[in-house]
Amino acid sequence: MYKTQRNYENAQRMLFEGVGQYDIPEIEPTQFNNAEFIGFNYARNAKETENKAVHFFLDDYQFTRVWTDPDKYTAMLQRFKYVLTPDFSLYTDFPKSLQIYNHYRKHWLGAYWQMHGINVIPTICWSDRKSFEWCFDGEPTQGVVAVSSVGTQNSEEGKQRFLDGYFDMVERLQPAQIIFCGKVPDECKGNIVHIKQFSEKWHEAEVAQW
């Protein structure tokens, strides 16, 4: 009984074949057709969920629960039109192993949700140029993607690091649409869907416990 209840990093639930050096689970491309975006911490009590998309542009502690107990939230997320993959942090001062682990967790959940019929929009994350070796593994090409510039535009160094990843993402993934959270730098090109509410709700978000 104890073994069946242990987490085992969700390996007991599903093992995906994975791609790249670190066997990152693949996410299939999705096309986007309008939706109202809400934070995960508002999802439980949301109304008209068939017209809404859930994002995870929040502090990690507010959504780590979807990794530690994914089956508890799958049925709830199935009610929504779209669900973005969790934005687990890839801070530049994190050890490489922790960054890769967070990338893996994001993709495992995205692939697991797709397996359960959820329309998943991949959230693209990177840290520095070294992360480009693996941070795009498992991401779909020519589909819709989501990015966030929140917290990256406060310095020239931070802005340039964001732009480096953005340009590399566009070249590698050739996204059909880019859902953009936060300020859109003038240098960013593409079929951008700017969701202003993202940055507003980032600051207004409250933790919802259930």
The confidence score (pLDDT) of residue 158 equals 87
| Backbone φ and ψ of 141, nearest 5° | -105, 150
Flag whether pLDDT at 203 surpasses 70: no
Residue-wise pLDDT tens digits, 97-131: 999 999 999 999 999 999 999 999 999 999 999 99
Structural contact between residues 176 and 209, judged by C-beta atoms closer than 8 angstroms: no
Span 176-201, pLDDT tens digits: 999 999 889 999 999 999 886 444 44
Q: Alpha carbon of 30 to those of 40, 53, 121, 122, 142: distances in Å? A: 20, 13, 6, 9, 9
Return the structure tokens found at 21: 């050096």
> Residue 140 and residue 142: Cα distance in Å, rounded?
7
Q: Which of 208, 36, 29 is nearest to 122 (CA)?
A: 29
What is the value of pTM for the model shown? 0.90
Is the model's pLDDT at 207 over the cut of 80?
A: no
